[in-house]
Chains A and B, each alone.
Chain A
Amino acid sequence: MKTGMTLERLGGVNLLPIALMIVALPLIGSFSSWATLTVAGLAMGMMIFLMASGLSLVFGLMDVLNFGHSAFISFGAFIAATVLAALAAWMRADSVTLNFLALFAAIGAAALFGLVAGWFFERVIVRPVYRDHLRQILITIGALIIAEQLLLAIWGGSPLPVARPAILEGSIILGDVAIEVYRIFAFFLGLTVFVALYLTLNRTRIGLLIRAGVENREMVESLGFRIDRLFIAVFMAGSALAAMGGAMWAGYQGLISASLGGELLVLVFIVVIIGGLGSIEGSLLGALMVGLMGNYVAFIFPKLALASNMLLMLAILLWRPWGLRPAITH
């Protein structure tokens, strides 16, 4: 009981990723591999967080589960790859400014696409089937099928190579630990987004309304706020974040194919379930756990990487059926 309370004061479930890191160290054996894997896991976790946070908020606010979310991820990846290819001259230039300009143009294009597509998606696909889960799932799957086919029609079926800007190539060597620059960049970008989201949700009036809507939609509506307008804004922001996540993922992978969205959707779902629906803190926690777990297990037992995340989800569902940090405590 006493240790339980101490753990709670230290951060409770927030300590899980750290516990995972500590457990992994002796299992991996070598410190330098452990450090490399940890950085990779954190970077991967941050990118998945970008993709998962929007889905989680959309679900929490309006009870809408969007299976088409992965379409934003894959379109984001492909659009970023196309922009980066078009700006190849800037990417190879010896100027930090041009490098970053190219990178931000790619991420910005993806995010812009996410905003517009999110608006369209919410208006045309999701709006007619609010509060009808079965049809919601079916319709968003239909949209996912169409999006995947469009992707194939536009970019073709063969994998697309993605260039990285010169500045993010290579690694930093600290002692005998090599850390890829791109991973550091991905981690800090994710962290920035998390802080921005956290501040928006907790320090602004809009954020207050969103949190109130997640907790009790009817109450917020009866107080005279247009929660549907709020919702479309959240939906668009969530889609833009997913597209950004996809863009970052494209650079991380270096080679992308049309199946990427579907593969990531499973991870995103696992993250959302682990973290608890409707909370971005939960999404971050879940994403870091999944990223770390995936990288550690891929090193220790290569064949079990995806299965390990599944087991993690099962264990957490058994322990806390509503996820680690759900927005609403039941």
Chain B
Amino acid sequence: MTDTALVSAPPADRARTGRLVVTVAVGLVGLALLLAPFLFQDVRAGQVAARICIFIVLVASYDLLIGYTGIVSFAHTMFFGLGAYGTAIALKNIGPSWGAIALGGSAGVAVAIVLAALIGVLSLRVKAIFFAMVTLAAASVMLVLASQLSAITNGEDGLVYSIPKLLSPATPLLTDADGKVLKVFGVSMNGRIAAYYFVFFACLGLFWLMTRIVRSPLGTVLQAIRENELRAEAIGYRVVAYRTAVFVIAATIAALAGILWAVWLRYTGPDTTLSFAIMIDILLMVVIGGMGTMAGAVIGVVLMSLAQFYLKDLMAAAAAATAPVPLLPHLLEPDRWLLWLGLLFILLVYFFPSGIAGTLMKKDAH
């Protein structure tokens, strides 16, 4: 270890440059998100910015499991959905108040914690692969429940509700002398801004919390478990307890992200919270960005979100250009973008298993 570090100084240099690049990239993303309402003023870009904030938290919390501890779970959208549905049901039935968000949100988080602890204690003690299967089964049951218990969840259609007055677009935050909504740099100071910054700062707080967790003694133990479970157990760490703990922590953070998602969208349905498409998105984001690095979550989410919006345009153009060829236009249709992403995903797992951030920072493959 020391030898290689001494002999091969250039790679160390490269790693330092890589770390700098990653840090700068994350810093730029943070800055862009902070100023998003002013930088990108159309509605769709605003949506993308908020989605990126929330998914950074969601993906980073998933990275706690898959990257830092080596646990593969498919139930992350289940916890995300629990937070979102808890909030949505409370807002729908109690009315648009902060109390409803607090009540519904904490109910959602509480259910997530109980479920995570149950699943963890039950199945983390057997093989890791069992765990993947059990969580997949649990998540699919939750999806079915959400679409079938339509009295509470309104089934496939999902719930539409209003949010507290402060956050809704019609509320003026600042008014000018005429009593109209004040514009700062051309941006109306209405409730939409408040909602965005509510989401942004909550996500920032959660993300900061996670960077603290991975650097804490707990984070070190988790990485030890990932590297060598038997040795960690032999040193005296109770592997099952630690795994269950991190599973509960990740579930809690996912549920909190779900609350923010529900508040921002003012709509909660199976497709926006619980579907497997979202679970696949999370997986792709973690792997593309880099497992086992918090910066990877940021990079993965930003790249995937941009690709989701712009790759489709590119593919539409390509499909039109290749129209006379059989089958090829079908493969290039914008709806088939996941096909190419799946291919990219496999190649990444083969050749760059540590993802973009991990490869730049020269972390080990494992």
Contact = CB atoms under 8 A, between A and B. Distances in A.
B331 A153 contact: yes
B129 interface: yes
A273 interface: yes
A317 B119 CA distance: 11
B123 to A, nearest CB: 7
Interface residues of A, number: 41
Contact of B339 (A135, A137, A146, A309): A146
Given A138-B287, A153-B330, A317-B134, A133 B128 contact: yes
A269 B136 contact: yes
Contacts of B134: 273, 313, 317
Interface in A237-291: 262-263, 265-266, 269-270, 272-273
B342 A152 contact: no
Contacts of A145: 280, 338-339, 341-342, 345
A141 B66 CA distance: 14
Contact of B346 (A125, A307, A321): A125
Contacts of A152: 335-336
Contact of B333 (A148, A153, A270): A153
Interface in B286-337: 287, 327, 330-331, 333, 335-336
Query: SS class of chain B's interface: helix, strand, loop or mixed?
Result: helix
A307 B330 CA distance: 37
A137 B140 contact: no
Contact of A266 (B140, B283, B349): B140
Contacts of B335: 152
B342 A272 contact: no
Contacts of B132: 65, 137
A273 B349 contact: no
A314 interface: yes
A225 B126 CA distance: 30
A303 interface: yes
Nearest to A272: B133
Given A137-B132, A313-B134, A142 B349 contact: yes
A143 interface: yes
A153 B340 CA distance: 12
B276 A262 contact: yes
A166 interface: no
Contacts of B126: 317, 321-322
B72 interface: yes
A310 B138 contact: yes
A265 B123 CA distance: 19
A128 B350 contact: yes
A279 B167 CA distance: 57
A269 B349 contact: no
Interface stretch (B12-20, B56-64, B141-149): B141-149
A68 B312 CA distance: 25
A139 interface: yes
Contacts of B125: 321
B129 A146 contact: no
Interface of A: 59, 65, 125, 128-129, 133-135, 137-139, 141-143, 145-146, 148-150, 152-154, 262-263, 265-266, 269-270, 272-273, 303, 306-307, 309-310, 313-314, 317-318, 321-322
Given A145-B341, A313-B137, 19 more contacts: A65-B129, A137-B72, A137-B132, A138-B287, A143-B346, A145-B280, A145-B338, A145-B339, A145-B345, A149-B342, A152-B335, A152-B336, A153-B333, A154-B330, A263-B140, A269-B136, A307-B141, A307-B145, A321-B126
